[in-house]
A and B are shown apart, each in its own frame.
Chain A
Amino acid sequence: MWIYAGRRVIQGIITVWFIATATFVAMHSVPGDPLLSDKAMTAEIRANLAAKYGLDKPVFPDQYMTYIGNMLQGDFGISFTQQNREVNDIIREHFPVSAALGILAVLFAALGGILWGALTALYRNKLPDIIIMFLVILGISVPSFVFAALGQLGLVGLNSWAGQTVLPVAGWGTVSHMLVPALVLGLSTMAFLTRLMRSSMLEIVNSDFVRTAKAKGLPPTRIFLKHQLRNAVLPVITVLGPAIAAITTGGFVVELVFAIPGLGRYFVEAVQQSDYTVIMGTTVFYGAFLVFMVILVDLVYGLIDPRVSVE
């Protein structure tokens, strides 16, 4: 177990290094250079600025080594477009917002997916199954930005119907700001998990141990909770890692539409403004986060399901 965990972590570190290098190479192949700004500057000022930021040194190995070295110390540099603002500060300030939204969305998606999936399997080919599976197909086929737009329209409608602000339409601050964005963010993942849970539950419903439990005369709720649900949930846990990745990147759109000051929206803005240090820092940070999330989920899965040997 520990050997396996160690190997996965080392692999993860190499992947993050790969991400950092690829981002570095990609950013340096962008046409133009960082000192190209609207303001005209003399050659001396240019040279001084280049010297200050180390841009006069060769890209490889000097700039690359500095970049990796700084990164190892947790320093992603300073923003290009916002003077004197460190990328670290930006991440520290905006990531908690994205994380809070993401956690709530994962929670919505996981609980909803498990519940709906179990329901559809229990009522196979009956009305609840048909309705839920229709919604699932809708959830998988409609892009997240459309859901975000509809969610916002719905909020506007709700508020004007109630004559007061029931839930705020956009912004950030309280739990009520989070509810609808998190639901929208988790929706497609919820649909995906529902489908997975349904097929896994259908397999369990027909398995021998469930028949045995029934034959023993156990009450149906006990069979459902103790035997069926517990076993059917396992495959859902394996995809939680990629699901977290999907929700994190899906956050870009939701944060943009609902005006939430999260890291995702910041990343999109940095991309639109060509703020290279912020793009690099955020990409490496997000990349590392996602890589280790997947590893964590895999390891947790090994702990939960004794049948899986992780060696």
Chain B
Amino acid sequence: MSHDSSAIPARGKQIEQLISIFGDPVDVTMPALFVYGHSSCGKTIVLNHVLEKLKVPHVVVNCTECYTNSVLFSAILQGLSGDNDLGSWKCDNLNDLGRNLRKVYESQSWNETVYIVFDKAERLRDREVNLLPALINLQELTSLNFCVILVSELPWEKFYNGVGIRQPFIVFFPDYTKSELGEILCHCRPDGVDREFYQHYISIVLAVFSLACRDLRELKHLSELNFSTYCAPVKAGKFDEGDKHKLWKHVEPHLKEALQQLYLRKVSSEEWMKLHDITESGDATVLKPVKNSDTIELPFYSKFLLIAAYIASYNPASTDKRFFVKNAGRMKKTARSMKKDERKNSHLRGPHAFPLDRMMAIFYSIVDSRVPPTANIFSQISTLVTLHLLAKIGHEDEIDCPRYKCTVSLDFISAVAKTMNFDIVRYLFDFV
């Protein structure tokens, strides 16, 4: 059987393998297949392509979308029967699924293999323990010619769940090589763009991103996002299309900035385009920094409370004396205290919980003016907890001395301390 490999580049071998496994439509095939490979390496598209091409009855269900058994089962039945009436295929246990599948099979008078594809099959592991083994045995359970195909990013051994599960036939989709990625990205170029011109652009994109990202979907998104920036000087008539070096110089800073935002999607694509369009008009490639969402405005005392909480979380209680008691005298520097144990570094190990009293003591000693301990102050603490800047540890009923943890990062607290002209690094044991 021949196929058209141009529709899906770089997956010819997998398509051929699947076609040979499926074989003649009326033949019995493996009761279950397991297809795995990294995300966006063409598993679903290849399966769809092959099943469409062979014109065999099939249904593809996504296990993330079908979040309960009854939704999953009715999606299968609806897909196979082509009947969109929601009510008619209601079924919530495997017994009814088996009966209804037989009904559909007989009503359509099929005699060929029927394929049921479960995309994101790793989700099935979270369901009841016997669902997955039952689905894998579907051919035997219904004694009809079904083939169940599980598609997942995880290897098969992650599916063992201790109840004994028959191993399906495993098909692996290898990741794309760099040149294959280039080929595919070129294949998806916008209409009316010269292939060679785009190819050169793609090679720049790959050079910048390939170390950090081999996910086709993300690379495609990035290349589409930045292509207009790349084209702009050509459109404005500043450079020629063949001026590769100049174009590279022009687009590189934009791509470098995109690399800082890889996968993060802090701004929407539209905003990103706009942001980079402004810089287009000017000749200089000075980039406006993306607005830092890491800082938020807080009341005066809240900021100090947060700083106090940070210090309490990251310093050992034994060192408080050294930082906050006036005339504490020079601390004796013994050989033991000099040698810092990396294991005890709380910036590596994470914040410790501290009692409220300790935080208040630090707070009073870092705020210059005298602050009466009013309800106002304490209400600000609970505000910080609601903002998830502090976390309350322990049970709700410990009201006499609640314990907290500070959950902000060093960068965040440094930014806050800077606005208060408070040099926080001087007060942190890890940096002394």
A-B complex is real: no
List residues of chain B with CB under 8 Å of any chain A CB: none
